[in-house]
Each structure stands twice: as C-alpha cells, then as structure tokens.
Amino acid sequence: MKEIIMSNLPASIATIGLCLYFAGMAIVFILSPVKNAKKFAVQPVDNAGVTEIRVYYGGISLALAIFLGYIMLGVGMPRVSLIGGVIFATTVLVTRTIFLFVDKGWKCPYTKLAIPAESLFVIALWVCFLLS
C-alpha cells in the first residue's frame, strides 16, 4: 500500500481526501438523513423520501468512496482514481453553477456556502491532478 501511495503522492493524497469526504457524507446521510438533508435545502415529503436521501446522498457517496479507493489501492492506479474524482467534483460544480441561475437559487444560504466550498475543493483536486 505504501508503495502505491508513494508512486504518485499528489494523486494519492487527493484520492484519500476524496474517499474520506465521501465516506463521511455517507455516514452522515445514512445515520441522520432528514436533519442533514435540511442543511442542503432538501426535505422528504414522506418515509420513502427519507429512504431516497439515505440511498442517493448516503449510498452513492459510500459507493464512490469505495470505488475510488479500490481504483487507487486495489488496482494500483492513484492517478486514474483521481481523474474519476476530478470528473465527478467538476461536474457537480458546473451543474450547480448553471442551475443556480436557471433556478434563481443564488440567494439561498446553502448556495452561498456550497459554491465557494466546492470551487476550492475542485481547484485543489485540479492542482493535485496537474502535479500528478
């Protein structure tokens, strides 16, 4: 494992960060879906909605963490894993930015936090990618 990480330190560090972030998101949304979804301006209308929050915010985040970790450690390709993370994070940021204007959500409290935080996250990932 140490050999794989050291083979491409920038990609490995970024991938480990991505895995920790997505695993953390999974835990938060699986264990307390309604409370945490409200922080994201999402609210279920019934119990099936609670399950959907667990599945899509929690389950998919966990799957992504496991997949990126597997590509880095199981397959031994930290840069390829980072590329997947960069594509995912950049796509989320670009989509959020576009629909921020379409949906007129720029004044919402969550948006005011999400755009700068995601932008810094994506820039950091791109820097690690360029260094890798």
Cα separation, 84 vs 99, whole angstroms: 23
pTM of the model: 0.88
Per DSSP, the residues of 16-39 read: HHHHHHHHHHHHHHHHSHHHHHHH
Rg (CA), the chain: 16
Q: Which domain holds residue 10?
A: 2-131
> For residue 8, is it left (φ>0), alpha (ψ between -120 and 50) or beta?
beta
Contact present, 11 and 78 (Cβ < 8 Å): yes
pLDDT, tens digit, 9 for 90 and up, residues 33-66 = 999 999 888 999 999 999 999 999 999 999 999 9
Q: How many structural domains does the chain have?
A: 1
Cα separation, 80 vs 76, whole angstroms: 9
What is the pLDDT, as a whole number, of residue 110?
A: 85
